[in-house]
């Protein structure tokens, strides 16, 4: 019998014969998975429990009506702008708490940890914000071999319990479609894991082959929904093509992770509202948003970083609009706010984390932006990664519930 925030319930402790009264445990689907220290349990509980001490009578009626409205309908553009604009501490608390409550009602306490392997820092594009842009020169660039990539994933999955891995690189055509297909195949032969590809703009034909080889998802941001802004900071690329890629990937049955940057020069709050609306109308299955961080040796190196508060508001609003969607707290938010950014993201509607699994010797050379945050991974891995086969099944169920509803997912 365990006691949790919602009362007492019976839990199957079959997998933990040495469990004693008074132990803190993690359980999933009513099965005890492992013990945790009291300290870790307190830290996690503090995140998970929505705050309920807000005095709603203090809230502006218009603001409260918007928070209520999201339960029965989508939000209008001007309502999203109203939420984005607020600086009132009570309103902010109400927004974050509402998002956390919706997260909990829809996803329970199911937090996930995903991993990312950054396998090549070469890039043919010249995006104004990105430290990997072509014009940054070749110093310190690296490419991992197929066996290094497969090895890094095998370690993460078979030793540490990861179940969803993003393979990311610059737009690097050294890796042909066939090479990527082989890498996916080798991983799928050796590990039970979902593979998400984040390899940029290459042919949809290639994406089709990667899907057939076993890739489940793509991570592909549209970066901004302002056509003018997009075209001005992505020389040689076009906003319309970017969106066409996303639609093509979605049509192929990929699980689509997409989103935008917060704090790009020239971006307005109205523009961010449009970004949120675009993300929702594309039907993304995973939201990925993060602040812009200036990177040395780029045209935007002197610009200020995007701010954490706006990022948290976007996470919360995305949660109001997309109750069941996965929203990882991105490394960029952690980089500008450290552990606090992670904590705030998770208590403002976020429900997963993305940890860096790039081998140490390469990490410093994947410089999309400087000083990438990492820390406390072990504690989180204990909480978010269950090594048992059952947990892969659970993730599969959660992840593809949406697809099942759309009638698309055929199981993988
Ligand atoms: N700051 C924050 N995020 C960045 N990205 C690229 N450069 C930066 C930067 N300077 C993000 C882009 C890209 C993802 C892989 O990294 O949104 O899609």
Predicted local distance difference test score (pLDDT) of residue 16: 72
Q: Which CATH superfamily is domain 112-410 in?
A: Aldolase class I (3.20.20.70)
Query: Which residues, listed in sequence order, are joined to residue 27 by a DSSP beta bridge?
Result: 32
Q: What are phi and psi of 64, to 5 degrees?
A: -60, -40
CA of 259 to the centre of ligand 1 (A): 11
pLDDT in tens, 56-96: 788 999 999 999 999 999 999 999 999 999 999 999 999 99
Predicted local distance difference test score (pLDDT) of residue 82: 98
Predicted local distance difference test score (pLDDT) of residue 37: 76
Residue owning the nearest CA to atom 13 of ligand 1 = 221
pLDDT band at 41 (very low <50, low <70, confident <90, very high): confident
CA of 25 to the centre of ligand 1 (A): 37
Residue owning the nearest CA to atom 3 of ligand 1 = 292
- Tokens 């309920």, located at residue: 52
pLDDT band at 411 (very low <50, low <70, confident <90, very high): very low
Residues counted in the chain: 412
Predicted local distance difference test score (pLDDT) of residue 409: 45
Instruction: From residue 183, give the alpha-carbon distance in Å to each of 173, 188, 210, 257.
Output: 15, 9, 10, 21
> CB within 6 Å of ligand 1 — which residues?
129-130, 221, 223, 261, 290, 292-293, 295, 332, 368-369
CA of 370 to the centre of ligand 1 (A): 11
Residue owning the nearest CA to atom 16 of ligand 1 = 368
Is the whole-model pTM more than 0.85? yes
Tell me which of 346 and 186 has the higher pLDDT.
Answer: 186
Residue owning the nearest CA to atom 18 of ligand 1 = 221
**Strand-strand pairing, 112-120 and 164-169:** parallel
CA 250 – CA 255 distance, rounded (Å): 7
Of all residues in the chain, the percent with pLDDT exceeding 70 is: 89
CA of 378 to the centre of ligand 1 (A): 25
Pocket test for ligand 1, best of 118, 130, 133, 292 (most atoms within 8 A of CB): 130
Q: Quick one: tokens of 393? A: 């099944």
Average pLDDT, the chain: 89
Tell me which of 161 and 149 has the higher pLDDT.
Answer: 149
pLDDT in tens, 241-281: 999 999 999 999 999 999 999 999 999 999 999 999 999 99
CA 285 – CA 318 distance, rounded (Å): 12
Q: What are phi and psi of 395, to 5 degrees?
A: -65, -45
CA of 406 to the centre of ligand 1 (A): 30
CA of 97 to the centre of ligand 1 (A): 28
pLDDT in tens, 104-137: 888 876 678 999 999 999 999 999 999 999 999 8
The yes-or-no verdict on residue 398 having pLDDT over 50 is yes
- Per DSSP, 136 falls in state G
**Domain range summary for the chain, segments of one domain joined by +:** 112-410
């Amino acid at each position: 019998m365990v006691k949790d925030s919602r009362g007492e319930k019976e839990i199957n402790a079959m997998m933990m014969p040495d469990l004693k009264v008074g132990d803190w445990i993690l359980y999933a689907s009513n099965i005890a998975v492992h013990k945790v220290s009291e300290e870790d349990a307190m830290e996690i509980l503090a995140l998970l429990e929505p705050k309920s001490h807000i005095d709603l009578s203090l809230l502006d009626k218009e603001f409260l009506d918007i928070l209520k409205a999201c339960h029965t309908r989508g939000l209008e553009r001007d309502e999203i702008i109203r939420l984005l604009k607020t600086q009132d501490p009570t309103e902010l608390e109400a927004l974050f708490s509402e998002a956390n409550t919706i997260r909990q009602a829809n996803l329970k306490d199911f937090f996930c940890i995903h991993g990312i392997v950054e396998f090549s820092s070469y890039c043919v594009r010249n995006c104004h914000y990105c430290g990997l842009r072509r014009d940054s020169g070749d110093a310190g660039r690296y490419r991992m071999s197929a066996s290094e990539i497969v090895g890094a994933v095998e370690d993460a999955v078979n030793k540490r319990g990861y179940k969803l891995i993003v393979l990311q690189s610059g737009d690097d055509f050294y890796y042909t479609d066939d090479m990527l297909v082989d890498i996916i195949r080798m991983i799928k032969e050796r590990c039970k894991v979902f593979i998400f590809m984040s390899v940029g703009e290459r042919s949809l034909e290639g994406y089709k082959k990667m899907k057939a080889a076993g890739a489940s998802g793509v991570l592909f941001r549209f970066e901004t929904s302002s056509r003018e802004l997009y075209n001005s900071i992505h020389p040689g690329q076009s906003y319309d093509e970017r969106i066409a890629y996303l639609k093509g990937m979605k049509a192929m049955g990929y699980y689509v992770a997409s989103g935008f940057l917060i704090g790009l020069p020239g971006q307005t709050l109205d523009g961010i509202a449009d970004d949120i609306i675009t993300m929702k109308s594309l039907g993304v299955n995973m939201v990925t948003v993060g602040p812009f961080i200036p990177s040395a040796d780029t045209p935007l190196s002197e610009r200020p970083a995007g701010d954490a508060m706006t990022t948290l508001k976007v996470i919360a609003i995305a949660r109001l609009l997309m109750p069941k969607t996965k929203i990882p707290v991105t490394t960029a938010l952690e980089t500008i706010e450290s552990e606090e950014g992670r904590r705030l993201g998770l208590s403002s509607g976020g429900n997963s984390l993305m940890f860096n699994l790039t081998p140490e010797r390469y990490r410093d050379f994947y410089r999309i932006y400087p000083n990438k945050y990492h820390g406390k991974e072990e504690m989180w891995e204990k909480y978010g990664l269950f090594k048992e086969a059952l947990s892969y099944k659970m993730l599969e169920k959660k992840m593809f519930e949406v697809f099942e509803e759309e009638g698309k997912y055929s199981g993988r």
